[in-house]
Structure 1
Amino acid sequence: MRELGAELATRLRPGDLVVLSGPLGAGKTTLVQGIAEGLKVRGPITSPTFVIARVHPSLCDGPDLVHVDAYRLGGRLEVDDLDLDASLEESVTVVEWGEDLVEALNEDRLEIDIAPGESGDERLVTITGVGPRWSRAS
């Protein structure tokens, strides 16, 4: 998952929204750790379950990483309270458990579903690009 995240980071740019879904323990945070490594942001990257959102500043000239865990959020109004749209344009925003909560933030987004495979280490990952940004090669 880290390798996939690092590869994905090479394609991400400021303003991108990534929505992660999958069961507990599927590898969502591990994927974000790989994205963070690829973006070269300050860590450590841990699940922000109790603080809801963390900003990881860039250590180079790249975008910051906004890492959100929407697991404990009760709905879209609580998402609005986070003001994620305030930093959306200059950051890469990755939201764990964000399905059906954050899609209104950006018409362009990557939706990534992670499911455990048959073996303990295997993961089945489905990446869906939504909107004009992802309808063309980037």
Structure 2
Amino acid sequence: MTRVQTIFLPDDAATADLGRRLAAILRPGDLVLLSGGLGAGKTALARSVVRALVGDDALEVPSPSFALVQPYEAGTLSILHADLYRLVSEREIDELGLFDRADSIVLVEWPERAAGLRAKANVVVEIAIPKGGAGRAVTIQARDGRQV
């Protein structure tokens, strides 16, 4: 059962709160796709999710735009934050090691660069900038009925 939620985020604090709520429903092995245009807030949301999973609100969580993948550890939990914007081909996904550990939580920005990921995703988050640019409209699809 897929559950679809639509949420309006008026500001950065609401984005951070959504990230904490999203982190609370994630499980080892989850693949989370974060879609949206440039400046939509994908990295800000991912940053909040990672900080919540690690349990450190001050943790430095850089954008993985150039590294492509940033790994994090929280006890026995492995978290991978990936940005596929610079990928040339979907075949490059295998080289990133995103699925080397079946128990990792994997957050992927720009999943459109690897269309095959959508079929594997447990949670798909689409962020849009409304007309006028104020706030963000977010649609969340969770495959197994989880609710943020």
Q: TM-score range by the shorter chain?
A: 0.7 to 0.9
Distance 1:111 1:81, change over 3 A: same
TM-score (structure 1 length as normaliser) = 0.83
The equivalences for 1:56-135 within 5 A come to 56-58=72-74, 61=75, 63-87=77-101, 89-99=102-112, 101=114, 103-104=116-117, 107-118=120-131, 120-130=133-143, 134-135=144-145
Whole-Å separation in 2 of the counterparts to 1:121 and 1:30:
16
Q: CA deviation at 1:77?
A: 0.7
Which ranges of structure 1 fall in alignment gaps of 5 or more residues?
none
Whole-Å separation in 2 of the counterparts to 1:36 and 1:98:
18
Q: Is the 8 A contact 1:116 1:123 kept in 2?
A: yes
Whole-Å separation in 1 of the counterparts to 2:140 and 2:104:
20
Q: Is the 8 A contact 1:79 1:102 kept in 2?
A: no
Q: Is the 8 A contact 1:36 1:45 kept in 2?
A: yes
1:31 and 2:45 correspond: yes
Q: Is the 8 A contact 2:87 2:113 kept in 1?
A: no
Distance 1:24 1:7, change over 3 A: same
The alignment covers a number of residue pairs equal to: 132
TM-score (structure 2 length as normaliser) = 0.78
Identity %: 36
Q: CA RMSD in A?
A: 2.4
